[in-house]
Amino acid sequence: MCEKIIRQIFAAIILIAVLMPQISCSDAGRQVELESITVYKSPTCGCCTKWIKYLQANGFKVEAIDLQDMSAVKVEAGISRQLASCHTAKVGGYVVEGHVPADDIKRLLKERPDVVGLTVPGMPMGSPGMEGHREDNYDVLTFTRTGETSVFSRY
């Protein structure tokens, strides 16, 4: 009886030892995937470049794509004029429009709400990439395909 229990414990330990590296690798792969972000921007926009540097400083791997005309990207992403800003990003199946703080993007990817993405409409002073002589209050909004919005964060 005792020998049977020892064999079962030994088999369980071997199973755990075999599965643990697979669990760790899949979690690590998921983390890398979620932190890769593609940013579509105008080649001459300085605040877009600042936002990209800000994302990189906050752990994101950024691929920047310069476009002369951003309208097709915004239409495809479901960005209305009221929600628009200067750059559009895609990460983890979501759209991120404008100067959204990195912590909000990380929260979006962690919580995975049923929305198209996040937006900071316009270009509020004091938002990431728009640092300057003043800081405006602004909201980070979620938005859906039907145009519904809700406040995700306030700054």
Question: Are 141 and 118 within 8 A, CB to CB?
Answer: yes
Q: Does residue 129 share a domain with residue 117?
A: yes
- Cβ atoms within 10 Å, residue 92: 17
CA distance 155 to 153: 7
φ and ψ at 36, to 5 degrees? Answer: -95, 125
Strands (E), the chain: 36-41, 61-66, 88-91, 94-98, 117-120, 139-143, 149-154
Encode pLDDT of 41-95 as tens digits: 999 999 999 999 999 999 999 999 999 999 999 999 999 999 999 999 999 999 9
User: Amino acid identity of 30?
Assistant: R
Q: Does residue 52 share a domain with residue 1?
A: no
CA distance 94 to 105: 9
Q: Does residue 41 share a domain with residue 2?
A: no
* Residue 62, beta-bridge partner list: 37
Q: Does residue 75 share a domain with residue 17?
A: no
Global confidence as pTM: 0.76
Structural domain boundaries, residue 8: 1-33
Bridge-based pairing state of the strands 117-120 and 94-98: parallel
- Cβ atoms within 10 Å, residue 55: 25
Q: Does residue 56 share a domain with residue 26?
A: no
Q: Which residue has the higher pLDDT, 116 or 20?
A: 116
Q: Does residue 44 share a domain with residue 18?
A: no
Q: Does residue 1 share a domain with residue 55?
A: no
Q: Does residue 70 share a domain with residue 12?
A: no
Encode pLDDT of 112-142 as tens digits: 999 999 999 999 999 999 999 999 999 999 9
Look at the chain and report how many structural domains it folds into: 2
- Say which CATH number the domain at 39 has: 3.40.30.10
Q: Does residue 24 share a domain with residue 96?
A: no
Bridge-based pairing state of the strands 36-41 and 61-66: parallel
- Cβ atoms within 10 Å, residue 123: 17
Q: Does residue 25 share a domain with residue 41?
A: no
Q: Does residue 83 share a domain with residue 70?
A: yes
Q: Does residue 105 share a domain with residue 48?
A: yes
User: Amino acid identity of 84?
Assistant: A
